[in-house]
Amino acid sequence: MSAMTQPSTAGAEPEQVRAQLADWVRRYWDPAMALRDWRQLLLASGWAVPSWPQRWHGRGLPAWADELVGSELLRLGAVGVPVGSGTWLAAPTILAHGSDDLRDRLLAPILTGEQTWCQLFSEPGAGSDLAGLSTSAVLDGDSWVVNGQKVWNTSAHHADMGMLLARTDWSVPKHQGITYFALPMHQRGVEVRQLRQMNFHASFNEVFLTDARIPAGNVIGEVGQGWQAALTTLAYERRFSALQRPGYSPAPGRALDEARAEADDHFATYSWYPQRAGRPDLVIEHARAAGVSDNPVVRQAIARLITLQRASTWTAERARAARALGARPGAEGSIGKLAASNIARESAKVHSMIAGAAALLTGPDSPLGGVIAEVLMSVPGQSIAGGTDEIQKNILAEKVLGLPPEVRVDRDVPFSQIRHRG
Ligand SMILES: Cc1cc2nc3c(=O)[nH]c(=O)nc-3n(C[C@H](O)[C@H](O)[C@H](O)COP(=O)(O)OP(=O)(O)OC[C@H]3O[C@@H](n4cnc5c(N)ncnc54)[C@H](O)[C@@H]3O)c2cc1C
């Protein structure tokens, strides 16, 4: 069998898939090869994203196969597709809404790691009210000309491509005049400025678009139908709100070295994300180090936090099981996101209770080497990124509980008639 052959594994059971993958890895994995060459093999064999169609680097397997194959590749000492918003957000959006031409052109460079992506959704006047965005795109011959400003764009400073939402029709209600583009970032009309955060990291950017050009063929979905594609991206974003570094083998080899360097580079931007999640994993160690692990009030607070965390893990596992059966990400993403915010806040409270005023100190001789202070400064970000807590509650109230929708006076009028903050 050549590496290009994609035998039918439709209807396969997890054990069969595991065995076929192990057999394939035994034949083709060579840690001495270049990472890109290895990933080309993964794409050609359909093991890159096994739940996708065969034409686009998959094997048409059920949704559970992606997670199974990803973790099996690591267990076998090999490497899978890269992590990042290209793989997690742009690729599934392009697969779901893009033309065949876009799928052909854009998916492979994402999955080999040749091109990285950032998300250009939020604007100074449009965050929670994303559909109120006012960056404009006007068709000029065979390209769109874009003007406006985006903000809070994680990793835009080293991205090759941007998932861009821009307004292409001001005469229709706000959700109907938006178009979703694949924006080439390396051009004169795109200026990226890094923002310094209160926890001293700089993972966000402002992106200024001044007569930036996008080829006409880079529209993802239909012109004016970008909101539908944006909802797909947002649903995946809630699902992947916790970023995890892949556990690559420490063995030598060019492909592994390159994969580790790629992950180092990628996760440098996200080094504060574990602190953003509140570090509940550190509360027991912290209580012991501070000599308060026998304090009954502290013990109760820790028990409450761990209970919350366990319950949330089970909810996430139920959601994962539903996805494995083919369900698209839905309201459970909002529940998981809200739970993550509550756990982060609760954990920051417990760490503060343990450390007292010293929680505010930074530097090597402060609690847990400054990690606790970083937790306190980073936790607010958890309840904002990917849609705030209030927005998740609105989604759950309307979509799950069937409560009456918020009063929205600007929903049905042409966008040009709305006073906006742009
Ligand atoms: C860590 C992090 C990473 C991010 N990465 C990106 C990225 O890569 N790309 C990108 O485009 N954006 C990114 N963002 C931006 C993020 O999507 C926005 O910050 C978020 O959508 C909120 O928008 P806003 O900041 O404009 O706040 P606003 O929308 O102005 O909200 C202000 C407050 O009002 C509340 N509020 C607003 N509307 C309602 C309502 N209808 N009902 C009840 N309460 C409401 C909100 O909950 C919030 O408390 C990131 C943000 C963070 C923190």
Lowest mean pLDDT among 17-21, 166-170, 244-248: 244-248
Ligand 1 pocket test, pick from 118, 119, 123, 128 with the greatest ligand atom count within 8 Å of Cβ, gives: 128
Task: Kindly give the number of the ligand 1 atom that is closest to the alpha carbon of 124.
Answer: 26
Q: Whose CA is closest to 17, among 39, 44, 47?
A: 47
Does the structure show a pLDDT above 80 at 205? Answer: yes
**CA–CA distance, 294 with 268 (Å, rounded to integer):** 37
Q: Whose CA is closest to 265, among 214, 175, 203?
A: 203
Ligand 1 pocket test, pick from 88, 117, 384 with the greatest ligand atom count within 8 Å of Cβ, gives: 384
pLDDT in tens, 185-194: 999 999 999 9
Task: Kindly give the number of the ligand 1 atom that is closest to the alpha carbon of 387.
Answer: 21
CA of 384 to the centre of ligand 1 (A): 5
221-235 average pLDDT score? 96
345-355 average pLDDT score? 97
| Mean pLDDT over the full length of the chain | 92
Ligand 1 pocket test, pick from 85, 89, 122, 272 with the greatest ligand atom count within 8 Å of Cβ, gives: 122
Atom 2 in ligand 1: residue holding the nearest Cα: 385
pLDDT in tens, 322-335: 877 777 666 777 88
- Please report which confidence band the pLDDT of residue 1 belongs to, taking 50, 70 and 90 as the band edges: very low
200-212 average pLDDT score? 96
For position 316, what pLDDT does the model report?
Answer: 83
Amino acid at 229: A
Q: Which residues pair with 117 in a beta bridge?
A: 161
Tokens 């996430």 belong to which residue? 316
Lowest mean pLDDT among 47-51, 122-126, 277-281, 406-410: 406-410
**CA–CA distance, 373 with 417 (Å, rounded to integer):** 46
pLDDT in tens, 237-291: 877 655 678 999 999 999 999 999 999 999 999 999 999 999 999 999 999 999 9
pLDDT in tens, 31-40: 999 999 999 9
